[in-house]
Each structure stands twice: as C-alpha cells, then as structure tokens.
C-alpha cells in the first residue's frame, strides 16, 4: 500500500538485512529500520516496532534467516526459534511461522539451509499477501450488499490496527475496505483510538489517510452510542488467535464492541488468514493473554508545541495501572469469519467445512 504515494510492504529482505517500517514512530516519523541479527528481530517484536499477528509471524521467519546468517549451527537455530516464539505470547501466527520454518529446515544440510530458509520466509510473506487479497474480495461482497440496500456511504467500525501495517500488505479487516474504495463504493471508517497504544489512531487512521479513505477517530467508548443512533452499518476487526470453535481473541476492547453490536443488531465480522486459527486450544481461558508494561497506560507520546516527540506522564505517580493487551469475543457474538477461503459461521462446523479439517 502507499505512503506519500510510494508503494511499500511492511517487511522485506535486502543485502542480507531485514528491513522494517518502525511502527513505534508512526504516524509522526516514517523510519525504515534494519534488523541485522536474530536478537534485533526478537527485540522488534517485543517493543512492537513490528506488530499485528501476521507481521510478527513474518518477522519471526526472517529472524530465523538472520540466525542462520549469524551462526549456521543447529543448536543456535533451535534456541533462536524458542526465543522468537516467546517474544509475544498471544498471536498464534508467531508460533505458526516458526514451526513452519523449522519443519522446512529439519534435516537440511548446512550448505543449503540459508537458501531454503530465505525462500520459505519469502513464501510466508507472499502467501499472506495472497490470503489478505482473498479476504478483501470475500469481504467486498458483504460491503457491496450493504451499499446496494442503503445506497449511501457504508459506515464501518474497526478496532486496533488490522490494516496493511499489521500484515505484509492489504491488511485483514481493512482489505475489504480497500477493495470497496477501489470499486467506487463510498465508505467511511470509524476508527477506535485503541488505548493504551493507540494503534487505531496512530496506524489505522494513518494508513487510511494515505489511501484517501474517509475515516474518523473515536474514543474507544464512543462506538456504543454511534451504533444506537444508526451510524454504524457493520464492524470488521482482525484477530490474533481464533479458536476452532470460533471464539475470537483480539486487541482488548473488541469484546465490548461486539456486545454493543449484538445489542444493536449490527453485523460484527472478523477477518483472518488461516495462519491465525488455533486448532488445538479448546477453551479460550487457556489462551495466553499478554500483560504489558503499565507505563503504556500511564504515559503517552506525541508531538509537543515545537513538533518534537515527547513522552509525558498522565496519571498520579502513586496510582497503579494494569495493562492486559487482548480479550476474547465468544463466537455467538460474531456474525461471520471472513477468511482467504470464503466467509463462514464462527463455529466448529463453519471452520471445519471451509478448511476440510
């Protein structure tokens, strides 16, 4: 997608270096950062220079390429794989990508391993782009149906950033929106700010602006009244881990939005590639929910009056803050899942049918 008119992907490999867009600096600074070692890749995932379930998976796969470049030794590779998986706990794409790479590399001779690892990491990225395009085409049909009935701008609410910045290109939740816009369907996006890290305000609004899609940032608590007043036609969000029974784990606050949508009879869609499906965990209480530093709540970074980046403290110094990063929306509140293979019910039978499991 575009930034200042130029096409980018979120991650690429050039001259033995992995290049990323540093998302901790957006929207105020656009900085391309070099990852030269597996430690750099692990750190980029931990501090969220890269974030979003598919993108952290892709970064982990390139992290293993960097590990091989540094030290072509099996025990170093095994330790790197373990450290990458542990760098963020909730999004299943991370483990999915590392397992896929390690399976591909198992038993491969050391003189061939780099080439095979690099090809597989590239393949993970190309596949994600294709899957996101397909999600866009399937989701487009839903937006088209609403437009054909309403004959006016389709208002879509989204939470966090499940845009192209969270994937390699296109995004999951945003892909149907980009396709609708390209087709000339008038769309407007209500962008949840998404406290505490403000991925909605800082990233989703930024990328929609760059693609000239109308959007308005709202505080996380505003969606309910907009729904009551008929100003939301549909919700589309992404996910970090969707269970085989259709329960959806996503950025904290998603659940409350789904409840409000349910109460107001507004369709609530979740867009995901199959790399985000956890076929093993049965009970959502077993999903490891990331607890992040409370400083993400108590402090905020933005531009000061001289347009310099500045971090300030918001709360009383003595106050405690707690920062759970994800929540779970039970399948019964999800209208449907939009996947690369098509749209299905958020249920075991819906997913099983689509993925022949």
Residues that bind ligand MRU (CB under 6 A): 51-54, 91, 160, 162, 166-167, 171-172, 199, 238-240, 250-251, 325
Which regions of 221-350 does DSSP assign to beta strands (E)?
A: 234-237, 241-243, 248-251, 268-271, 277-278, 299-303, 309-313, 326-329, 336-339, 342-344
> Least separation, in Å, of the C-beta of 56 and ligand MRU?
7
Closer residue to ligand MRU in complex, CB, 160/243:
160
Q: Which long-range contacts (CB under 8 A, 24 or more apart) does 37-43 make?
A: 37/66, 37/67, 37/70, 38/63, 38/64, 38/66, 38/67, 38/70, 38/80, 38/83, 38/84, 40/66, 41/66, 41/84, 42/83, 42/84, 42/87
Cα(20)–Cα(23) distance, rounded to whole angstroms?
A: 9
Closer residue to ligand MRU in complex, CB, 98/117:
98
Closer residue to ligand MRU in complex, CB, 50/105:
50
> Least separation, in Å, of the C-beta of 74 and ligand MRU?
30
Residue 98, helix vs strand vs coil: helix
Cα(216)–Cα(45) distance, rounded to whole angstroms?
A: 28
- Cβ-proximal residue to ligand MRU, closest one: 238
> Least separation, in Å, of the C-beta of 278 and ligand MRU?
13
Closer residue to ligand MRU in complex, CB, 61/172:
172
> Least separation, in Å, of the C-beta of 89 and ligand MRU?
11
> Least separation, in Å, of the C-beta of 99 and ligand MRU?
18
What φ, ψ does residue 26 adopt, rounded to 5°?
-75, 150
Residue 128 is a catalytic residue: no
Of 220, 240, 278, 327, catalytic: 240
> Least separation, in Å, of the C-beta of 238 and ligand MRU?
3
Task: Tell me the CA distances in angstroms from 29 to 5, 169, 171, 192, one per residue in order.
Answer: 16, 20, 21, 21
Closer residue to ligand MRU in complex, CB, 181/251:
251
Contact 278, 241 (CB under 8 A): yes
- Give the Cα-Cα-Cα angle 10, 12, 16 (nearest 5 degrees): 150
Closer residue to ligand MRU in complex, CB, 9/104:
9
Residue 18, helix vs strand vs coil: strand
Give the active site residues.
Answer: 240
């Amino acid at each position: 997608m575009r930034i200042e008119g130029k096409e980018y992907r979120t991650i690429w490999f050039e001259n033995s270096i992995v290049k990323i867009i540093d998302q901790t600096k957006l929207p105020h600074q656009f900085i391309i950062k070099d990852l030269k070692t597996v430690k750099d890749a692990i750190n980029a995932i931990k501090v969220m220079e890269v974030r979003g379930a598919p993108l952290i998976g892709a970064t982990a796969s390139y992290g293993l390429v960097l590990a091989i470049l540094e030290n072509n030794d099996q025990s170093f590779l095994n330790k790197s794989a373990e450290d990458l998986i542990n760098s963020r706990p909730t999004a299943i794409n991370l483990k999915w990508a590392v397992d896929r790479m390690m399976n591909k590399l198992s038993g491969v001779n050391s003189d061939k391993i780099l080439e095979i690892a690099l090809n597989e990491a590239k393949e993970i990225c190309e596949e994600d782009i294709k899957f996101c395009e397909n999600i866009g085409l399937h989701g487009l049909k839903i937006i088209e149906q609403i437009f054909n009935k309403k004959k006016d701008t389709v208002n879509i609410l989204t939470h966090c950033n499940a845009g192209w910045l969270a994937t390699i290109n296109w995004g999951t939740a945003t892909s149907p929106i980009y396709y609708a816009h390209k087709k000339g369907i008038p769309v407007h996006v209500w962008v949840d700010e998404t406290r505490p890290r403000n991925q909605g305000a800082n990233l989703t609004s930024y990328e929609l602006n760059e693609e000239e899609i109308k959007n308005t940032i709202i505080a996380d608590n505003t969606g309910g009244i907009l729904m009551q007043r008929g100003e939301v036609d549909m919700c589309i969000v992404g996910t970090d881990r969707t269970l085989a029974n259709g329960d959806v784990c996503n950025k904290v606050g998603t659940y409350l939005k789904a409840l409000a949508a349910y109460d107001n009879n507004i369709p609530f869609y979740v867009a995901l590639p199959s790399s985000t499906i956890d076929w093993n965990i049965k009970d959502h209480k077993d999903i490891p929910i990331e607890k992040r530093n409370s400083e993400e709540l108590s402090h905020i970074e933005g531009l000061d009056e001289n347009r310099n980046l500045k971090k300030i403290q918001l709360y009383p110094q003595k106050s405690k803050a707690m920062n759970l990063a994800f929540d779970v929306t039970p399948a019964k509140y999800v209208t449907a899942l939009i996947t690369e293979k098509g749209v299905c019910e958020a249920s075991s039978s819906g997913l099983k049918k689509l993925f022949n499991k």
